[in-house]
């Protein structure tokens, strides 16, 4: 017998919060960090979770380590699923130290990347050069995501500097500014050495800039739960492990005990 219709979950079960935007969304974006998924694992991730995934970062400088046909396949699959895919910002920092910025941009455009991350988490460069990199990315037709923060253990947020960076980066055309937390989520940025969030600093940042401009790296479940509970399910979150993509979406929708109260509807 031919099936002519599909079963659909009751909306109050699929999204108890009733707030989750469909793609392309402006709120609640999720960025997954890919540190070396094989072709099958990458395709599996997209087949079950592409509707919940907005950005994929190929961590640090892993991009040139793939067989080129595998890399191109990843890029094409991501774009077919409405996802921004880009190399990690550290790779651009390598290009800067090797005086190969032009070659870097030429190659990522030729390969088909549709995004670029601009950071100075390891090296130093001035504001003028940062602006030039943002504009170069835009001129190449790429979505520009910038990053604030140093990668060293114990690196803290300089609030005035962060606020100024967000305001200037977005003024020059960056779509989001990522708040550094590395893949460990400990002893960096808004997280202390135990991985706990520095709530007072977060509040001071959000008093000065829009949360819609910020992508919070939060690799640990405890951090995701805390930030969602504190700031709402529509915050942008990054450095999510591929195997935590669906679990994070459940947190956003109040489909886990940690955030079930988000889905409480008032009669």
Q: Quote the pLDDT of residue 265.
A: 53
Tens of pLDDT, residue by residue over 111-137, are: 999 999 999 888 889 999 999 999 999
Tens of pLDDT, residue by residue over 180-233, are: 776 555 566 778 777 788 888 889 889 999 889 999 999 899 999 999 999 999
Q: Quote the pLDDT of residue 267.
A: 42
List the CATH code of the domain at 22-256: 3.20.20.70
How far is the C-alpha of 222 from the C-alpha of 74, rounded, in Å?
Answer: 30
How far is the C-alpha of 190 from the C-alpha of 192, rounded, in Å?
Answer: 7
How far is the C-alpha of 92 from the C-alpha of 87, rounded, in Å?
Answer: 8
> 211 Cβ partners below 8 Å, 6+ apart?
231, 235
Percent of the chain with pLDDT over 70: 90
CA 8 to chain CA mean position, Å:
29
Over 70: is that where the pLDDT of 23 sits?
A: yes
Average pLDDT, the chain: 90
Least confident of 25-39, 92-106, 142-156: 142-156
Q: Which residue has the higher pLDDT, 58 or 182?
A: 58
Q: Quote the pLDDT of residue 199.
A: 86
Q: Quote the pLDDT of residue 188.
A: 64
Over 90: is that where the pLDDT of 143 sits?
A: yes
Least confident of 5-9, 171-175, 230-234: 5-9
Mean pLDDT confidence for 75-101 = 97
Q: Quote the pLDDT of residue 204.
A: 87
List Cβ<8 Å contacts ≥24 apart for 224-231. Answer: 224/248, 224/251, 225/251, 225/258, 225/259, 226/196, 226/197, 227/197, 227/202, 228/252, 228/259, 228/262, 229/258, 229/259, 229/262, 230/197, 230/199, 230/202, 231/202, 231/206
How far is the C-alpha of 265 from the C-alpha of 91, rounded, in Å?
Answer: 45
3-class state of residue 16 by DSSP:
coil
Q: Quote the pLDDT of residue 1.
A: 47
Mean pLDDT confidence for 100-115 = 98
| In the chain, where the domains are located | 22-256
How far is the C-alpha of 243 from the C-alpha of 145, rounded, in Å?
Answer: 23
Tokens matching residue 106? 């030429």
Tokens matching residue 190? 């808004």
């Amino acid at each position: 017998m031919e099936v002519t219709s599909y079963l659909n979950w009751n909306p109050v079960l699929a999204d108890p919060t009733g707030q989750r935007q469909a793609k392309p969304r402006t709120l609640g974006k999720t960025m997954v960090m890919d540190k070396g998924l094989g072709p099958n694992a990458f395709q599996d991730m997209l087949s079950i979770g592409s509707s919940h995934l907005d950005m994929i970062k190929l961590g640090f400088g892993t991009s040139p380590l793939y067989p080129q046909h595998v890399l191109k396949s990843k890029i094409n699959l991501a774009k077919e699923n409405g996802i921004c895919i880009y190399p990690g910002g550290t790779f651009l920092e390598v290009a800067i130290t090797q005086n190969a910025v032009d070659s870097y941009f030429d190659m990522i455009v030729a390969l088909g990347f549709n995004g670029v991350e601009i950071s100075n988490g390891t090296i130093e460069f001035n504001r003028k050069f940062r602006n030039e990199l943002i504009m170069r990315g835009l001129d190449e037709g790429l979505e520009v995501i910038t990053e604030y923060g140093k990668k060293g253990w114990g690196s803290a947020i300089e609030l005035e500097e962060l606020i100024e960076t967000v305001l200037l980066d977005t003024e020059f055309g960056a779509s989001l500014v990522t708040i550094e937390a590395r893949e460990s989520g400990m002893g960096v940025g808004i997280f202390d050495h135990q991985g706990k969030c520095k709530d007072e600093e977060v509040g001071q940042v959000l008093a000065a800039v829009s949360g819609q401009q910020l992508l919070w790296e939060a690799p640990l479940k405890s951090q995701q739960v805390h930030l969602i509970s504190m700031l709402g399910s529509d915050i942008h979150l990054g450095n999510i492990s591929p195997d935590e993509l669906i679990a994070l979406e459940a947190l956003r929708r109040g489909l886990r005990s940690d955030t079930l109260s988000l889905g409480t509807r008032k009669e």
